[in-house]
Amino acid sequence: MVAVSIFSIVSVIVTGALLTAIAINNKAQAIKLAMDNLNYALDSITIKMKRGRAFEFNASNELHFISPKDDPVNPEKAYTYRLDPSGAITMEVGGDTRFITSDKLHIDEFRAFVSNNVSGSSGAFPRAVIIIRGAARVGNQEQKFAVGTTVTERQ
Amino acid sequence: MFSNFSFKTRTDLARTPFGGFTLVEMMTVVAIILIMTAILLGNLPNFRDRLSLDAIAQEMAVTIRQAQIFGSATRTSGSQEFPSYGVYFDLSSNNNFIVFADLGTPPNSLYDRLGCAASATECREQFLFSRGVVVTNLCSSTNGNPSSCTPISGGILNVNFRRPLTDAIFYDSANELTPASVIIKIAKASNPTDTRSIVVWGTGHIYVTK
């Protein structure tokens, strides 16, 4: 009786620990996916932006630029990135708006600091520092993040 | 040795110099082992199916990423320098998909020179599914969620990558689609409810989920 009781207690504890470990692992993987999604979104912005011109971050917290003439997808088009009220970043081009970040990410702040935005006016390259703050949320787990990158116009 | 398996009580055995298991104990242990083995063997085919489905889904994701690398970098195709590359799915031929180079002037992002046998076609690699796996659904989503996606009409999807961007550009049989992401669902033809989803975001993020 004592042996069976000890065995049962140990079995329940070990099974519980195993299930908890599996659940935590799944959530950690989901958070990693969400963070990868953010990295791709930021890369997507910067790769397009560095080939573009007329950087601007306006009072409505929108990041604008014009794509180059030889852009493979949308030549000479205005790109606008903004923070949607749902907490995702959206991209607008040619009148079409689409989400570029996952619903597992909740972005609190999307900001850019643009300097020398008139190309050649001061001899310095137009430059933008993009800052994104928020949290990746999966179930009751949350990982806060703050990422930033600098984009310089390629001339 | 076999004299130990007579109907003796533990108290009897404890008194003898050859103490061991009773017949009832041995039968119980053997019965438990048999039940566990039967459960394991019964679940083995399902386990192998799930494992192969996972492996094929990962291989698909890697192949799409390969097209992304070819398209965003500088891989020539025949006499044409640096074409865009893509992958082509067709639900009417759902046991395979094609990696293609978008040839022609100007390129149109579509796999429209069909056939993998002739040299003049756009086909660069045909990915044939093994173990009865098929593409069950092609759909688009605003948030990459496979459980709430909209089927792509016509059942044809072209995912294209053009240098220097790593972004994915989506087309159906003729027109550009502008969702945030597309989802390719695969399953065994014999068990279409157990699916794996390959999610491709417009930003170029590619991954496998359930």
Q: What is the ipTM of this complex?
A: 0.79
| pLDDT tens string A95-147 | 889 999 988 899 999 999 998 776 555 667 888 999 999 999 888 888 899 99
Query: Distance (Å) from the C-alpha of residue B12 to the closest C-alpha of chain A?
Result: 20
Testing the interface with B: which of A45, A101, A132, A138 to mutate, by most B Cβ within 10 A?
A101
Distance, in Å, from the CA atom of B134 to the CA atom of B90, rounded to the nearest integer, reads 11
Q: Do A98 and B203 touch (CB under 8 A)?
A: no
* Distant-in-sequence, close-in-space partners of A119: CB < 8 Å, separation ≥ 6: A53, A54, A126, A153, A155
Most confident among A10-19, A48-57, A93-102 (mean pLDDT): A10-19
Residues of B in contact with A29 (CB under 8 A): none
Distance, in Å, from the CA atom of B148 to the CA atom of B157, rounded to the nearest integer, reads 18
Task: Provide the total of helices (H) and of strands (E) in chain A, helices listed first.
Answer: 1, 8
Q: What is the pLDDT along chain B (210 residues), one digit of tens a residue?
A: 445 555 555 555 555 666 788 999 999 999 999 999 999 999 999 899 899 999 999 999 999 999 999 888 876 666 666 788 999 999 998 888 989 888 877 778 888 877 777 776 788 888 998 888 999 999 999 888 888 899 998 899 999 998 888 889 999 988 888 898 999 999 998 888 889 999 999 888 999 988
At B65 the pLDDT is 92
Query: Distance (Å) from the C-alpha of residue B209 to the closest C-alpha of chain A?
Result: 9
User: Nearest to residue B210, comparing CAs of A26, A102, A21?
Assistant: A26
Give residue ranges of A with CB < 8 Å to any B CB. 33, 36-37, 40-41, 43-44, 47-48, 51, 72-73, 88, 96, 98-100, 102-103
- Residue of chain A whose alpha carbon sits nearest to that of B165: A47
Provide the number of CB pairs (under 8 Å) joining chain A to chain B.
59
With 60 as the cut, is the pLDDT of residue A75 above it? yes
At B74 the pLDDT is 74
With 90 as the cut, is the pLDDT of residue A150 above it? yes
Cα dihedral across residues B130, B62, B209, B186: positive or negative: negative
| pLDDT tens string A27-52 | 888 888 889 999 999 999 998 898 88
User: Nearest to residue B186, comparing CAs of B115, B128, B141, B123?
Assistant: B128
Q: Do A47 and B164 touch (CB under 8 A)?
A: yes
User: Nearest to residue B183, comparing CAs of B129, B146, B142, B136?
Assistant: B146
| Secondary structure class of A63 (helix, strand, coil) | strand
At B20 the pLDDT is 83
At B163 the pLDDT is 83
| Secondary structure class of A59 (helix, strand, coil) | coil
